[in-house]
Amino acid sequence: MAHGPATLADGWRAYISRWVFTTNHKDIGTLYLWFSFAMFLMGGAFAMVIRAELFQPGMQLIRPEFFNQMTTMHGLVMVFGAIMPAFVGLANWMIPLMIGAPDMALPRMNNLSFWILPFAFAILTSTLFMEGGGPNFGWTFYAPLSTTYAPESVNFFIFAIHIMGASSIMGSINIIATVMNMRAPGMTYMKMPLFVWTWVITAFLLVAVMPVLAGAVTMMLMDINFGTSFFDAAGGGDPVLFQHVFWFFGHPEVYIIILPAFGVVSQIIPTFSRKPLFGYSSMVYATAAIAFLSFVVWAHHMFTVGMPIAGELYFMYATMLIAVPTGVKVFNWITTMYKGSLTFETPMLFSIAFVILFTFGGFTGLMLSIAAADMQYHDTYFVVAHFHYVMVAGAVFSGTAAIYYWLPKWCGKMYNETMGQVQFWVAFIGFNIAFMPQHFLGLAGMPRRYADYGLQFADWNMVSSIGAFIYGGAQIMLLYNVIATIRNGKPTTEEKTWEGAEGLEWTVPSPAPYHTFAKPPEFK
């Protein structure tokens, strides 16, 4: 067995080598979580720059070229640096605890998956300081903007994506191997906590689509530097090919982001409803159905590209079909709460907000899926509002809920409930002020990704910016709450922090010992 964890008392060298050389799933989970939070603040800072510039019409603070780099980097950092690693961190911490395993299946590869990320993001961030600036073609990096017309730094972006992809694939393979091979006796597949289920399906999606993303950026690299013509019609290629390859990755990617969030909420709502999750098996099948459908709907991102009508109709109906399993999930969460003994601690508040706001974002998604209507909505702020409702109120709210929910298990200290609830309300109100008006802006025709706008959009943009600053402030409060809990939180040693909590992670002491389940527990 590996020796116990070094603390600062053992000296800096021992402390640093503990984190750098670690093979412990809890250490690696912690690294992922802190790294993703750092990236979240960086991506958030980019968002603040965007909203500050859009506070008023006209150009005030930055040049349009830099604005483009900010929108691009905000998207890339939030998707690949903040949300994805945050959920991998939760997976690392919680999956072994939930299935009664002593660690992840491949502990050294686990460490490698994490330590690639700082290098990848150092490369990506360094592009901002390069001649010609950083990536400026939007996080979806459509060719030929990202090939023929791209700054030279696009090459650094390409290789950063390559190693990020390697990290994701290794991390996912590790999760699949852990879940398939490391479950405690009695922990059959249909008894696994839903968080584990959603993650194993997510990991499958990642292994399936990250290589496709690698293919897309490789084609870009070849077109830019080696004279191929994948995305150049002059040579017989097609820029639309890029969009097909990208969205074949990109659509499953959005479920990669949201499925673990579903898992978290499916753990939290039963706990604070003091009832088992309603419709467990339908939840599992719905998750699998969403994952399957995610592979066959990609071109709904491309309705305005000039597809044949048959293609538009197919992708429209297939997309609408996703509402069915998603609806199953929403009904199950609500039915779990129905007639439960509800209490509203911070994790539950975030989870309920998740259900409401994610459903709202789902409905705007349904509007966007109508091909004829999408001709109007496409590339407007309506789309921006839609995906921030599912990404922020979906993934980020659920991640925040997870932090409050499991923080006592991680560090053996209880957060301050008042502070938690204050943070929730600031985040909830700030979020809605920031993004609700963007629906109106989009429907009124304001295009996304522009540094300036017509005067008729001025009022709602100012409101949106104020909301964004409030929401940004809420994240500083979250950081404060977490640090304050770790330093001065009320110690708690109870195994079961929450009265209604079920599952193996609540059978080990708080804080969870460095090594748990050296002998597999019996699970009935």
CA distances from 390 to 160, 314, 381, 440, 444 (A): 26, 24, 14, 17, 21
Site residues (CB under 8 A) for another protein, limited to 401-460: none
Burial of 493: CB neighbours in 10 Å, binned 0-12, 13-18, 19+: exposed
Contact region with another protein (CB under 8 A), list: 63-71, 212-220, 362-370, 382-390: 212-220
- Give the separation between CA 106 and CA 491, rounded to whole angstroms: 33
Active site (annotated) includes residue 413: no
User: What part of residues 487-506 is at the interface with another protein (CB under 8 A)?
Assistant: none
253 a catalytic residue = yes
Question: Footprint of another protein on residues 24-53 (CB under 8 A)?
Answer: 24
Q: Which amino acid is at 226?
A: F
Known catalytic residue: 126? no
Determine the angle formed by the axes of helices 154-181 and 194-225, rounding to 10 degrees: 150
Among positions 51-110, residues that touch another protein (CB under 8 A) are: 100-103, 105-109
Minimum CB separation of residue 362 from another protein in Å reads 28
Residue 282 is a catalytic residue? no
Q: Any contact of residue 144 with another protein (CB under 8 A)? A: no
CA 344 to each of CA 11, 30, 475: distance values in angstroms, whole numbers, following the listed order: 42, 27, 20
List 251, 275, 386, 439, catalytic entry: 251
Residue 210 is a binding residue for another protein (CB under 8 A):
yes
Interface mask toward another protein for 111-130; x: CB under 8 A: xx--xx-xxx-xx-------
Q: How far is the CB of 157 from another protein (least distance, A)?
A: 8
Q: Residue 395 carries which DSSP code?
A: I
The number of C-alpha atoms within 13 Å of 507 and in the hemisphere containing its C-beta is 14
Active site residue: 53, 253, 312, 345, which one? 253
333 as an active site residue: the answer is: no
Give the tokens for residue 148: 């023929």
Toward another protein, which CB reaches closer, 134 or 394? 134
Q: Is 103 a catalytic residue?
A: yes
Catalytic residue among 30, 127, 153, 168: 168
10, 11, 20, 64: residue in contact with another protein (rule CB under 8 A): 20
3 noted as active-site residue: no
> Which residues within the stretch 219-248 sit at the binding site for another protein (CB under 8 A)?
219, 221-222, 224-230, 232-238, 240-241, 244-245, 248
Residue 389 is a catalytic residue: no
Distance CA 511, CA 410 (A): 5
- Look up 300 and say whether it is catalytic: yes
Name residues contacting another protein, limited to 150-179 (CB under 8 A).
152, 155-156, 158-160, 162-163, 166, 169, 172-174, 176-178
Examine the residue annotation and report whether 13 is marked as an active-site residue of this protein: no
Give the separation between CA 260 and CA 269, rounded to whole angstroms. 14
Q: Which residues contact 9 (CB under 8 A, 6 or more apart)?
A: none
Write the Ramachandran bin of 104: left for phi over 0, alpha for psi from -120 to 50, otherwise beta. beta
Q: Which of 300, 378, 386, 413 is catalytic?
A: 300
Q: Which stretch binds another protein (CB under 8 A): 68-76, 183-191, 285-293, 370-378?
A: 183-191
Of 19-27, 268-276, 362-370, 491-499: span binding another protein (CB under 8 A)? 19-27
What residues between 292 and 331 interact with another protein by CB under 8 A?
306, 308, 310
Q: Nearer to another protein by C-beta: 42 or 213? A: 213
Cis peptide before 347 (omega within 30 of 0): no
Q: Is 167 a catalytic residue?
A: yes
Based on the shown chain and the rule CB under 8 A, indicate whether residue 212 belongs to the binding site for another protein.
yes
Find the catalytic residue in 34, 139, 142, 314: 139
Place of tokens 């907000």: 353
Q: Could you tell me where the DSSP H helices lie in 391-457?
A: 397-411, 417-443
Rounded-to-integer distance, Cα 516 and Cα 96, Å: 9
Nearer to another protein, 114 or 428 (CB): 114
- The sign of the dihedral angle between the CA atoms of 480, 486, 492, 497 is positive
Nearer to another protein, 24 or 400 (CB): 24
Shortest CB 258 distance to another protein, Å: 21
Q: Pick the catalytic residue: 127, 266, 271, 516?
A: 266
Rounded Cα distance between 55 and 460, Å, is 9
497 tagged catalytic = no
Which residue in the list 19, 93, 197, 255 is annotated as catalytic? 255
Q: Are 449 and 65 in contact (CB under 8 A)?
A: no
Size of the site for another protein (CB under 8 A): 90
User: Would residue 301 show up in a list of annotated catalytic residues for this protein?
Assistant: yes
Residue 378 is among the residues annotated as catalytic for this protein? no
d(CA 341, CA 273): 5
Q: Read off the tokens for 285.
A: 């099948």
Q: Which is nearer to another protein, 163 or 334 (by Cβ)?
A: 163
Alpha carbon dihedral 310, 312, 313, 316, in 10-degree steps, equals 160
User: Are 78 and 475 within 8 A, CB to CB?
Assistant: no
Which residues are catalytic, by number?
A: 74, 103, 139, 167-168, 251, 253, 255, 266, 300-301, 326, 329, 448
